[in-house]
Structure 1
Amino acid sequence: MLTSPMPTQEAQFPDPRGPLGGLNSARSTSRLEQIARLRARGIGDHIGLPQLVVCGDQSAGKSSVLEGVTGIPFPRQDGLCTRFPTEILLEHSSEDEIINASIIPSRNRTDDERRSLVSFHRRLQSFQDLPVVIEEVSRLMGVRGAHSEVGPAFGPDVLRIEVRGPVGLHLSIVDVPGLISVPNEEQTDDDVQTVHRLVDDYISDPRTIILAVVQAGNDIANQSIIKKARQFDKDGERTVGIITKPDLINQGSERRIALLASNKDSTKLKLGFFLVKNPAPNELTRGVTSEQRQREEIQYFHAPPWKEQSLDPGRLGIVALRKYLQKLLDRHIEKELPKVRSDVRKLLEQTEFNLVTMGEERDSPYKMRMLLTRLAMAFHQLVTSTLNGTYDDLDKSFFASDNEHMSRRLRANIQNLNTQFADTMRERGAKRRITTASEGDQDDSESSESDEDQILVTETEMKGWIRQVYQVSRGKELPGTYNYVLLAELFHEQSSPWINIAQDHLYSIGKIVRNLVETVVHHISPDTNVSDEIMELVGTNLQENMNRATEELNKLWQDEQHHPVTYNHYFTDNIQKAREQGTKDVVKKALIETREQDWNGRMHISNVQMDMDRFLAGLQQRVQVNMTEQACAEALSGLQAYYKVRVRV
């Protein structure tokens, strides 16, 4: 015999319209009311609330299932009841039946729209008034329907129907619009996406029990709601399958449906499946009652071919389903309610904190000025401290030295950036950097990748570049000298990376300043509305300052493009040192050649005049001055000396 994943004794509950037996009705009512009050106040927009949600494809029989479970005869004309979510709250009592309808606005509504929707309350004399109420609600929500051909076909606002009286059970359940597979003339692509987003929003909540309504005649695994349930409930721990329309399947398919209903098919759910038979269209036309529906459903499953399938009676029919759902919801709320209380407590604490940080009510210009004055003083104190680098004067927690708060220490960050800027100018500021041949081979690949503005050259290559510029910049100068144009062109080329390095440095400074200001503003005013307004004004000023700083940088750069001028003695000192070093190198080279070639590597100069003359003659013939080389050497010395002066500025 096929068994169900749930105990079969659940099927032994008394008649749903009779007493509740062993159920603790007072406790169930209290729990439902707590959750209902939270949802009515919009708490569900911020934290998940335990709930049952009926969902499925259009024409899957979802409305008939909902009617069978709740006992509410929803109107079927024009699809009014499926154009927005409907929350049904059933509370059993021995008093006369009371039916109330209200609207819970969605989180996206404006304050005026929320007030208009919340003000809607209707007392229904009977369920015969429901079609009129639904049409009125549709008009208030602005969805397309019998009253209008404009507006969206579906809306996220919730119609809430409370029924209190001898209903036989305590239950809260939400009905959402049916999933649309293919758009048509009445339902556009946007409508299809709206419904899918709406359903996703409900069933993605881990505190939602998914009541997935599927048609027996279609491939269960490929129905949209099963795919969505697998997406948001991968382990099937909070999904109940409800199989409808078994009377419309092909003959011989009963065994497959029986396996599915017994949770033994490839599609398995930990909460299992129920098999129900909804009233046929002709039965609905003649106005079948709830009792007649239940009676005919029982007779249907007790007759062939279902009689031979050995199905669990606790999983057959609408009566078994509604009893199970009440116990399921009761257990679910009992499990989740402590977590909900904890979440509500945290939300309340956060809200109270936000209210405190917003300060006193600002209902007059005087109070507004007082707030701005207080914020301005707090801003000035913090910014002054971080500019001066005095991080212990005020709020020590704001200037904590851990990595998370280091960005608030502006002076330290500026100092570090300036150090990096100086290092970059010293190491990569020159367009051409003289290096040894081995160093050039080692760093060549890195230079081409990490620093495209700098070229590593040998001393010979450097002299070759200067010779090339010298030849194209010659004027009326005498041989062995160079004109002012040569030094200008050499310096401008050699210092060309400066502007990019300086711009990067300026951008980095501007970025950390803006981040610091934004952090200070949000620190002194946690009220995001106020802080955002302040940042909009301050941000404009910061951008203006950044623009002025960029203009000043461009002016400085334009000054560097003029003819080289300096009165710094450091320049002449470096020129003199370079000349002395050049003379020393020439004489040293001549001495070595004279010793090796004229004195056979061993040289001793006595006081004899002949030896002195011989030695000087050897030096003289080896110290030969090339006028072009002399001019280029002088130009190189001038370039290096002037570059050192300017890079220090």
Structure 2
Amino acid sequence: MGSLGVEQAINASLPGGIAEKLTSPASVNGDCEDGPLGYGFEDQQTIAQLELIDDLQKLGVSQYLNLPQLVVVGDQRKSSVLQAVTDIPFSIDDKMCTRFATEIVLQRTAPDHPTEIDVCIQPDPDISPERRQELLSWRPIPFDRTATLDKTMMQNIFQQADDMIFGSTVRRNSPKHGRVNRLSSSILKITRRGPKERNFAIADIPGLVRGNESNSEHRTAKNLVQNYLNNPRSIVMAVIDVVDLERQEIMQMIQQLPDEETRVIGVINKCDTKQLKSHDWVFDLLRNDPARSPHWLKEGWFGLRNRSPSELSISDRERDKKEDEFFAGPEWSSLQKDALGRHALKTALIKMRNRHVKRSIPDLIFEIQSKLDECLLQIQQLGEPRATNQAQFTIVNKIATEYSKGAAGAVNGHYEELTLDKQFARKLIRDNLDSFKADMVARGLKIPFITSKQDAVAVSKCTHESEWGPKLLENYSWVQACINNYRGKEDIGEVNSIVKSQLWKQQVASWEEIASNALNLVERTVENVTSSLFEKVCSDESLRLKLRVWLQDDVQKAAENARIELQRLIASERDGQLFTLHPMMVFRTQQLHQERIQAVLTECTLKEPKMSLQQAGSTPLKLGSIPSDLIIQSLLIGNAELAGVLKTHDSLAAYHEVALYRFIDNFALQVVERHLLGPDGPLLLFTSDYVTQRLYGKENEAALATLAGEDPTISQKRQDLNAKRESLEESKKRVQSFKIL
């Protein structure tokens, strides 16, 4: 908000040299452009305090914190009071100025600066962006910045502003008794700058509309008044008319102010319309007896007799004469003269202002510091400025350097400088690979290989050795079926070489799906880690998104390379030769054969310790005469078909144990490590070298500006915040220096 509202208007009352500095001589028709002389209530300390408020206003700090101002509130017809107190030609012959708030701001400039006027509309914050921009760009037409702020100009400004805010067509064509909202929360702001001005602001607020919360005009008017009343440093001039006192809502609103006594002064307007007896409450208010009046104000109540409609063209001097003659009447003789007339009101306002400024200054430093802290935080949140190519390259390179440092730690398991668990890439990907391994072990085979225990159980169900072969072949039917399907010229017990390849393809058919799912999981982990690291090093969401998009082609390329690598691994394992040099292959094949013999032997011994082997043309031989394992082996290989099936099965089972972990390791190393965690992978791609190669030099200036150039709205916000910071910092110095003095 603005500064002390009575500053210029009632500073005309300063004595001697001070008055000469702040006022202009009376005009030829008796009007005083800056107010009449003759009031002097300021000692040196008060003058110094007012000068401080002037300095703060010149710094523009009133945009950011509350400074003393004059706020005029009431039901209706306040403009005549404003004109009487300030000598500014507020419109008093129509209602245009009551449809929206009007702020008159005077600002003192350097001695050689010409006096200029600026007019604008501050839009209602709730309107659409398009309408907001339309109001912000509005200026009166025609308009001379160097013209005098006289009655004609004021009426022209009000008329055009009214048409702009409400729409002239809507206003003129609206139904006589329609429910169109005639009030707006937009503000007309008129600023006059010049070397002879005294920094201050006056706020004229639309009069309160009678009604309740269901009436939109009532709500708009009440909210406007309340917003201005909430400024604890405002001087509130409450204006009421000579009507039923209890019907004037402003009385209720000011009584709800916690500091009503110290900053509210009451004005009864149009006292010449008072009716005998029926309006005796006017006298009660003007007497302002705290023991008798429920509406007592410490600063008092004052009566005015302003121009009637037929007196709009008379001079200020004539107006004052008529007011003095009216209050000299016998009906008013019982009242104190210092409660009647505009000069009495001005005298009280000057005293009130002086006290108010003294109370306001001590708290300013705390409010300035609070606003400054908030401003600095907002500037910090915007990040570093990026107006030039050099600044753009510097910030992108800085982000890349910080990012690559964090990414390297994440990949290498050095988490000291990382702030979140979701940035621990190595740990998270290790978890993914462990899940992949578990899934491969659990679901990697179409048909589980037969265990020695299963063979032993099958044998245990036989009553004679001749039943072993058929019974065991039931477990290996899937192997036997494949051998039979691909039979060629082989003898019984021999197996076509293609059988193992076909069986292997059937067995590992799920590897591609399991590995693809695992790759998807790892890619999501890499993406999540990358996103978290970017958030850590780049707080600017817009720039962060642009950088991610800029990197996307190479990120996608790495992902595609990972999938191509996976397909190669799958093809090699599924469609290639069943080949390995791993010594475990031979060892494991023999071990599976021996485990089967031992399991069967254990089962047979437990079932029949005296079991014998029938040999043709000879007496039965006791089991202990020949090594037991040889007997079992001879029974198993004696069936040529069974022997071929078991050999094929054991060879595949042993090969699976080698190939399974070979594939898991190759997936981890050749797919994940090489393509997703390698130097060209999504996680480690963004480095200072990467930025330099693609963005450094004149040939890359356009691309760099597109990538890292600051959004115009952010640039404007940064400019506004820097202006706010400078204003607050200088204001802080001024207030601190003043307190020291």
The TM-score with structure 1 as length reference comes to 0.50
The TM-score with structure 2 as length reference comes to 0.44
Larger RCO, structure (CA 8 Å, separation 6 or more): 2
